[in-house]
Amino acid sequence: MTDTPQTTRVQKERTGEVISDKMTKTIVVRVERRVTHPRFKKIVTRYSKHYAHDESEQASVGDTVRIRETRPLSRMKRWTLVEVVQKAPAIAAVAAS
């Protein structure tokens, strides 16, 4: 019997800002990437939205988070929350007063 080597799939990781946490155990993360325009050679900022699973609901709007690609969890969720890199400044308390 021969041992076959286990191949591990490299999972993509992205860092972005939470723009919505209104759904249960789901956050919407906006990921920014900077690319060169093919014709004008100017640096252009492109954004993409990813729906990510947040099991403990620890991320809130404005937080910077790291997400990792995973198996499909629902119709739109293909990412899961790894960690909250930076919490957003607490401006909700200031706005309420």
One-letter amino acid at 33 equals: R
Share the mean pLDDT of the chain: 90
8 part of a folded domain: no
81 part of a folded domain: yes
2 part of a folded domain: no
Q: What is the pLDDT of residue 95?
A: 57
Torsion of CA 16, 90, 86, 25, to 10 degrees: -60
Q: What is the CATH number of the domain that holds 91?
A: 2.40.50.140
Per-residue pLDDT for 61 more than 60? yes
> How many distinct structural domains can be found in the chain?
1
Scan for tokens 């076959």, then name that residue: 4
| Owning domain of residue 67 | 13-96
Per-residue pLDDT for 91 more than 90? no
Is 79 within 8 Å of 70 (Cβ atoms)?
A: yes
pTM: 0.80
Residue 71 DSSP label: S
- Reduced 3-state DSSP string for 80-96: EEEEEEECCCCCHHHHH
5 part of a folded domain: no
- Alpha carbon distance, N-terminus to C-terminus of the chain: 72
